Structure 1
Amino acid sequence: MLTGMGLRPEQQRLIVVIATVVGVLVGAGGLVVAIQSIGSRSPERQAGAAVVVPDAALPQVFHGWGSPKLFAPLAERAGDAKALTEKEVFGQSELPVTKKLKLKLVAKQLDADCGAVLWGDALLEQVSDGGCTQAARGLYASSDGRYVGQYTLLNLKDSESAAGLVDSLKTLYRGGWTHPLKSSKAAFPAGGYSEAGGYALGHYVGLVWIGRVDGAEPDTQDDFVSLTLALRGAEKAIYRRVVSITGPSS
């Protein structure tokens, strides 16, 4: 409530102290006077400070990685101008995890408006500055019904923007993330545990998001590393683009 009224964190701490005293001495009416005496401000956008969407599914852990040299030919979108397609990124209906376990594609969507795919003021501002023109999302359910995963691929203007976004997400993810696709076959439970990773791939950013359907933290039976590698199968589209520029011999 205090954040919504435009109070800075230090002002909010002061209000808590005042509220404790005023509540005992003169009741709630004094609190309103105290708030008005401090003043207000227009909230500023800060990394990781966006208001969390009610009931939003959000990863509790995030790790980010820079772009390997392999993707240097894709450093600029100007040299890779062909737009992504759903078929190109999500052409495989199943991604193998182990011999017995697979991730099945249950929903896919390609948006030209990256702002419709992401939420969180600071995150939206950064992807806008990065010239994001496409966001491809694929939602997966494991064949055993235990896991849910989503892969999101963002098309930015250059590798500098992509690397900067991945680095910033190490804090931005706490107050903004991707909207999960909706499907009756898989869903991230609100408030449940999930993990995510960000990968700079030239001028692209790949976001991997994994969780258990029941929202519980992983135990010894859960191999999130293998699930992550399987989800990254969607990145084959980006490898093919490298080959189309440099030739098979590379």
Structure 2
Amino acid sequence: MLGLLTGGLVMMYNADEPVTAETTASRQTSAPLPSVPPGKYGFAASRKTDPDPITIKEMFGKRRKFTVSKRGYQMTITSKDKKCTDGALGDALQKALKSAKCTQFVRASFRDKEGVVIGTIGVANLSSEKQAAKVAKAGSSSNYVKPLPGKDEVTKQLGSGAGGAKISTYGHYAILVWFQRKDGTKPDSKGSKRISQAIVDITKATVYEALDNRALTGSALS
């Protein structure tokens, strides 16, 4: 059963405010960067200017365990879906992905160090920023990323009980999340904030770092 965590997940995970690309720029070599197309998402606004296929390693990083401001997290399982619709639940969302010419859908599941918060993040590679917005609009209490249970004792519980779902966009990409408490119970306000913080921590350390680089360079993060 889906329970949307309004006031936590929805408010803190804002599609219109992606993390900045300044940190990515500092990691580039001394070679001049290509001329970035105008607009909020640079090269990443369209697959025409950002043609490189995405990979699990690029989107979710090489590290299984990482720390953000002393908060520990672990990636437990990944999936490169054969069809984009395999990673999505709901007829409206699946239809929107097909209409947006989705060519790739990758997912990864995470847990916090304490084993309280668990969740799945999916990234869909779509044709354009406009099409990504349509996919995000299709999100609802019955249209969201398909939770990806892990084989471990913690994230194997993914998809059971109440959780929070959200679809956001970054250029021609859609970022879909499902996060919940391990025990499946509906969180109180403190629990919702903890879940929201985990989403921000994990997406900034993985997906947004990769997409910031694409916005600046139009190529995969090496």
Name the TM-score, length of structure 2 as normaliser: 0.74
Matched, 1:234 2:184: no
Q: Which amino acid aligns with 1:176?
A: N
Matched, 1:142 2:112: yes
Distance 1:189 1:198, change over 3 A: closer
Bigger mean CA deviation after superposition, 217-226 or 236-245: 217-226
- SS at structure 2 position matched to 1:210: strand
Distance 1:176 1:230 in 2: 24
Other-structure match for 2:15: 65
The unaligned stretches of length 5 or more in structure 2 are 19-38
* 8 A Cα contact 2:120 2:178, kept in partner: yes
Post-superposition Cα deviations, 1:132-162, rounded to whole Å, max 9, x if no partner, equal: 1111101012111111011111100000010
**Where in structure 1 do 4 or more consecutive aligned residues deviate above 3 Å?**
61-64, 66-70
Distance 1:151 1:81, change over 3 A: same
Aligned residue runs from structure 1 range 173-192, under 5 A: 173-185=140-152, 186=155, 187-190=157-160, 192=161
* 8 A Cα contact 1:151 1:234, kept in partner: no
Alpha-carbon offset, residue 59 of structure 1: 4.5
Alpha-carbon offset, residue 104 of structure 1: 0.3
* 8 A Cα contact 2:144 2:165, kept in partner: no
Distance 1:90 1:71 in 2: 20
Matched, 1:195 2:164: yes
Alpha-carbon offset, residue 111 of structure 1: 2.1
Other-structure match for 1:115: 85
Alpha-carbon offset, residue 67 of structure 1: 7.1
Alpha-carbon offset, residue 61 of structure 1: 3.7
The unaligned stretches of length 5 or more in structure 1 are 1-56
Alpha-carbon offset, residue 85 of structure 1: 1.0
Distance 1:177 1:163, change over 3 A: same
Other-structure match for 2:175: 206
- SS at structure 2 position matched to 1:104: strand
Aligned residue runs from structure 1 range 93-172, under 5 A: 93-99=64-70, 101-169=71-139
Higher relative contact order (CA 8 A, sep 6+): 2
Q: Which has the higher helix share?
A: 1
Alpha-carbon offset, residue 115 of structure 1: 1.3
Distance 1:124 1:67, change over 3 A: farther
Equivalent residues, number: 185
Alpha-carbon offset, residue 198 of structure 1: 2.0
CA RMSD of aligned residues (A): 2.2
Alpha-carbon offset, residue 245 of structure 1: 3.5
Name the TM-score, length of structure 1 as normaliser: 0.67
Distance 1:61 1:181, change over 3 A: same
Distance 2:190 2:159 in 1: 20
- SS at structure 1 position matched to 2:92: helix
Other-structure match for 1:219: 188
Distance 2:69 2:166 in 1: 21
- SS at structure 2 position matched to 1:88: helix
- SS at structure 2 position matched to 1:215: coil
Post-superposition Cα deviations, 1:175-224, rounded to whole Å, max 9, x if no partner, equal: 2322222213212252x221122221000011122110011222355322
Work out which of the two has the higher radius of gyration on C-alpha atoms and give 1 or 2: 1
Other-structure match for 1:244: 217
* 8 A Cα contact 2:163 2:178, kept in partner: yes
